[in-house]
Structure 1
């Protein structure tokens, strides 16, 4: 029985092998297949030019359907299928294969909207495929020129009683992503009571995951320490679940699961262990997140798409480190002329002295620091409206004369009522926000740091693109602080240069946090910083003083210097006091003058999460190398330098006699490998021209 007419199928033997169905077919010529297994009744098969198999089977009292799409290189395969028993009781599920390994076991899919479960007893109405191959340019990040290449499959389902819905899959060479869509045009509001999506990660491996942020302050701000090398499906210490991204090493692959594309029609989500067998399942924000009384469930008119569920996959940890999938899954830039958007480094006085924003004279000192160091920006934090002397207008004018751009801090206004001081409501109300943005833009301000969003509920998530859009209208750059995890908004709004969502240097005013800093610093390059620029405010040599009590730094000065490379941020705030940078020895001071804030290429040269990390980032023809030890014990490391940097002589900035001193070594690795000793909690940095 011929199943394919000439011109309908253009599959290959390799496609059939990857689909697991080669045994059932005999190739007659390049366009025709003959079915040769009579035990299973074949209803339909489509082998397309995308390496896709769509199979519908019946037999043995069961009904099943299988749809598969493969990555451009054929290594990643996403399989969607219906499963169930007799009759019409079926469920939709998926699994992901990498080469010959199952990297996500069969996992449930589905949406419960207005009381109906979409994904149960579905009937396929249509299937379509397309290839995506596009390049675009970012203004900040690990690699400015991005290449988005993937295969997409859209399955349109109906159950005969409710609205049609779509399941959309994209498969990349470095992973896969999926989302749900309701394409009908309906003006009334719909509520998604539950998203049934699960991630059945194979057990037996290890996980690095940050618990969903939960403490006494209005949260989440994603400032929890990661739980490192824990068992897959382990439970958190509280009942609020886990935050994205989740990093795994299991079944021979490294894998990261995260979320992408928040447009304001959905809350930011996280996961818990409520799936079958305690596997990870999507969870909406917590009802108790107190900044607003809203219900955590998403509400919208139709058409409506959920965020993408993204899974990065590779045999090498560098695949996770370098991925740009989160950015790929967002819409293109809406800013036609982005020439004014420039990444850069900034001085910031608040870390060492929280009252400094009120001092005109103090801020002029930090403008002068920027001039000396060649840094592009100055950030003036909370308190600037009460600045003495010539006020913030005077600082902006003084900075502009010297080519330095000024950023100002604002409260997001999340959950604030009219009884709140006006200054803390300016970013929450559209009219107030645009008026303030127009005012400071005319003054010459270049950017805003917007803080304290304090919840992942939908109404506050909708503020993010609203703020970014209005800021773009007035040519203002943006740092989202006290904010949710990045989901790729920097592609659509490239004026977004960085986001906090990290326990950064601000918290180092407590000794217990200084004691944990080295391990934390060696973890987040593999977790939080993978998915977007990270406003950690690094490179702090001083001991932070909080309420008159200093907390003593446990990392070496070389470790701190290396963070300028290890941590990526399009708006890189160097947080220490002016005197700390100006008193540095010439070589490390020169390093901080030269290190940029946006990169043409980034590579993980060596490392293991929470243990140690060595990063190389390139700007033009120059490589910047940074490495840190996450453990308080000496270690020997060896790694290959980037190919274009091999064989060149350079100065290694490394640990000195103690954590407060530097040492230097002239090296020229003839074999292209660098061999060195890292002190406990130590580090190193270098520039290779």
Structure 2
């Protein structure tokens, strides 16, 4: 038996072991992935990751540079190396997958300096069959109580200069950029998730999980596939990135590993590395679809500021409430309802004028709350801060009490700014801002309000622990189609984000545009077909989905609008049917509250035909497949509004052929008989 164990270990231990023996190793439950930990002759810790016997991550350093203390990089000895196993299946209260298995083998390395202060540092690795997570832990100790981190020195040294999809880090528009595709060596400072395709065809998503009381981790690409962790500093003038008091832990550094891009869609590593729900009963959090006073603002049909063009009036809001009630939508988003919008709120300091519990005179919140409740609808509040965090925090309790008292079950928050600095001069997405975002989540939970956060810190799976942080933007959404100087999102954008941004969590993309040529915006248009807009409701996951267009545009296409009315937002399970990054995506999801399935498929600027096998359907059931597809002459640039609808009966194992036009897509409702 001992000989057999040694043979199995040899299948995943790094080839680097020929020159340096690991101090400890751990393999995933099925021994697909393995981690080796090393300690050099100078006591410098490092690790590598092996996939099916081949190096995936080459030898990569661990450690920190600290303020006013020697670096935690060398001079260590191993005090203990403890292994453990864990296997559970847990249930999401809402989500893209109801039951998720959390199955890993863990290795905890306890390090202590040989000389000097003899400080202690633990490194914990959790190895799954589809990924690796590791973090640092600072035990309680007299020699290290206050920890001021200048730089986290973690590396992720890939074995070659692989292909990467990324957006720039610490740039003026935060996360709201189009994705670039380059070798690692050309990507510079970038946000995570960053998705890699190795020269062998393996897909790796590099990210972090459980980001609490710490600075956001960006990464920097270097020569030969080397990648370095790069923490967002406090400010331009304050180099400290993180200040902690021991005992303390860092976020998990994560590597999701799959043999196809499509499989990344259903990789739940980041969720598993977060702690279970801390809010208790969360039955008050309801996934839902909504409409609202939003798209008309971006099209400049109405305005956020008060006056004759004000959009957030009592009369206009009632129009949306009536439309929502008529078509079965739960919420109505209203922006510009509160005091503070009349000045230049987007400029530094302008957000200090916002008041989050005082409506404008033409917005009768009591009457609207009554009217909405009478219609079975609720108003979704909106808190734009202009990145003036102190002003917002001074009103948090009153603001969320106001939402609660007026039946507003959800709020959209915003932190628009013109650079990477907050109004107080601190960096957006540094430790200060991360802690602010948590305070908003905490007080929202006290008042039973769900949060949809825009311009916020990226998702790292916190929704498992705090299920009221229900969705985020944190990418370039559909609003850019209305006014971006580059003419809007290109067709490949929505074929990239399922394999990049969406790996971090739900996205409030705001799909559903039916008027695609935007007559009021002649330099812009929505660069999709109408059928692709329907497909986005399945491909881009969020438990809150907006039907973003104006009611009158939906009234002109009630047959196509039916899909938006029918599609679910809370799912029993998800199946990735196929996809290539930037090329196409096809995803099927089963409604959590019925036997119905829904499929979304979309392409980039290239026309293609997809053949989908319905082998995921329930055995013995018949389904009516209502297929919303591109018309024969549909084209995102020249004929975006052309679509066809057809119905057929299908069962498990049948195949569908979907013709996708340039910039097009298809949406399918599979209604169980």
TM-score where L is the length of structure 2: 0.86
Which residue of structure 2 lines up, in the alignment, with residue 470 of structure 1?
443
Are the counterparts in 2 of residues 178 and 310 from structure 1 also a CA contact under 8 Å?
yes
Q: Does 1:672 align with 2:654?
A: yes
Are the counterparts in 1 of residues 137 and 248 from structure 2 also a CA contact under 8 Å?
yes
Separation in 2 of the partners of 1:536 and 1:294?
A: 34
Separation in 1 of the partners of 2:532 and 2:2?
A: 52
Which residue of structure 2 lines up, in the alignment, with residue 141 of structure 1?
95
The more displaced of 439-448 and 379-388 is 379-388
What are the superposed Cα offsets for residues 236-294 of structure 1, whole Å, 9 maximum, x if unpaired?
Answer: 4xxxx011001112133211110111112x111101135x75611010115667xxx65
Q: Does 1:683 align with 2:665?
A: yes
Give matches, 1:160-199, under 5 Å. 160=114, 161=116, 162-185=118-141, 188-199=145-156
Which residue of structure 1 lines up, in the alignment, with residue 568 of structure 2?
596
Q: Does 1:234 align with 2:186?
A: yes
Which residue of structure 1 lines up, in the alignment, with residue 419 of structure 2?
none
Are the counterparts in 2 of residues 203 and 231 from structure 1 also a CA contact under 8 Å?
no
Which residue of structure 2 lines up, in the alignment, with residue 371 of structure 1?
325
Q: Give the one of 662, 669, 674 matched to 2:643.
A: 662
Q: Give the one of 400, 408, 411 matched to 1:437.
A: 400
For residue 461 of structure 1, give the secondary structure of its aligned residue in structure 2: helix
Q: Which has the larger radius of gyration?
A: 1
Separation in 2 of the partners of 1:518 and 1:252?
A: 24
Cα offset for 1:151? 1.2
Which residue of structure 1 lines up, in the alignment, with residue 354 of structure 2?
none
Separation in 2 of the partners of 1:349 and 1:487?
A: 30
Separation in 2 of the partners of 1:480 and 1:496?
A: 8
Cα offset for 1:519? 0.7
For residue 295 of structure 2, give the secondary structure of its aligned residue in structure 1: coil
Separation in 1 of the partners of 2:384 and 2:489?
A: 29
Are the counterparts in 1 of residues 215 and 434 from structure 2 also a CA contact under 8 Å?
yes
Are the counterparts in 2 of residues 141 and 532 from structure 1 also a CA contact under 8 Å?
no
Q: Give the one of 245, 250, 261 matched to 1:301.
A: 245
TM-aligned CA distance change 1:171 to 1:641, over 3 Å:
same
Q: Give the one of 56, 61, 65 matched to 1:103.
A: 56
Are the counterparts in 2 of residues 645 and 688 from structure 1 also a CA contact under 8 Å?
no
Which residue of structure 2 lines up, in the alignment, with residue 281 of structure 1?
228
Aligned residues between the structures: 615
Separation in 2 of the partners of 1:340 and 1:107?
A: 45
For residue 319 of structure 1, give the secondary structure of its aligned residue in structure 2: helix
TM-aligned CA distance change 1:16 to 1:119, over 3 Å:
farther
TM-aligned CA distance change 1:335 to 1:131, over 3 Å:
same
Q: Does 1:69 align with 2:51?
A: no
Q: Does 1:446 align with 2:409?
A: yes
What are the superposed Cα offsets for residues 82-123 of structure 1, whole Å, 9 maximum, x if unpaired?
Answer: 23xxxx424221111111222212212112234323242321
Are the counterparts in 1 of residues 45 and 74 from structure 2 also a CA contact under 8 Å?
yes
Give matches, 1:569-648, under 5 Å. 569-586=542-559, 588-619=560-591, 620-631=594-605, 633-644=606-617, 648=623
Separation in 2 of the partners of 1:233 and 1:493?
A: 37
Cα offset for 1:590? 1.7
Q: Give the one of 72, 79, 86 matched to 1:132.
A: 86
Give matches, 1:181-220, under 5 Å. 181-185=137-141, 188-203=145-160, 205-215=162-172, 219-220=173-174
Are the counterparts in 2 of residues 139 and 343 from structure 1 also a CA contact under 8 Å?
no
Which residue of structure 2 lines up, in the alignment, with residue 47 of structure 1?
none
TM-score where L is the length of structure 1: 0.84
TM-aligned CA distance change 1:403 to 1:13, over 3 Å:
farther
What are the superposed Cα offsets for residues 455-508 of structure 1, whole Å, 9 maximum, x if unpaired?
Answer: 111111101221111111111111111112101111111011101101001111
What are the superposed Cα offsets for residues 48-68 of structure 1, whole Å, 9 maximum, x if unpaired?
Answer: xxx9x99xx9xx9x9854311
Cα offset for 1:134? 2.5
TM-aligned CA distance change 1:537 to 1:139, over 3 Å:
farther
The runs of at least 4 aligned residues of structure 1 exceeding 6 Å deviation read 544-548
Q: Give the one of 487, 490, 493 matched to 1:520.
A: 493
Separation in 1 of the partners of 2:44 and 2:32?
A: 26
Cα offset for 1:403? 1.7
TM-aligned CA distance change 1:389 to 1:204, over 3 Å:
closer
Q: Give the one of 314, 318, 322 matched to 1:360.
A: 314
Are the counterparts in 1 of residues 184 and 221 from structure 2 also a CA contact under 8 Å?
no
Separation in 2 of the partners of 1:617 and 1:643?
A: 10
Separation in 2 of the partners of 1:402 and 1:336?
A: 30
Give the aligned CA root-mean-square deviation in angstroms: 2.7
Cα offset for 1:347? 0.7
Are the counterparts in 2 of residues 544 and 552 from structure 1 also a CA contact under 8 Å?
yes
Are the counterparts in 1 of residues 625 and 648 from structure 2 also a CA contact under 8 Å?
yes
For residue 491 of structure 2, give the secondary structure of its aligned residue in structure 1: helix
Are the counterparts in 1 of residues 488 and 524 from structure 2 also a CA contact under 8 Å?
no
Are the counterparts in 1 of residues 625 and 650 from structure 2 also a CA contact under 8 Å?
no
Q: Does 1:260 align with 2:214?
A: no
For residue 132 of structure 2, give the secondary structure of its aligned residue in structure 1: strand
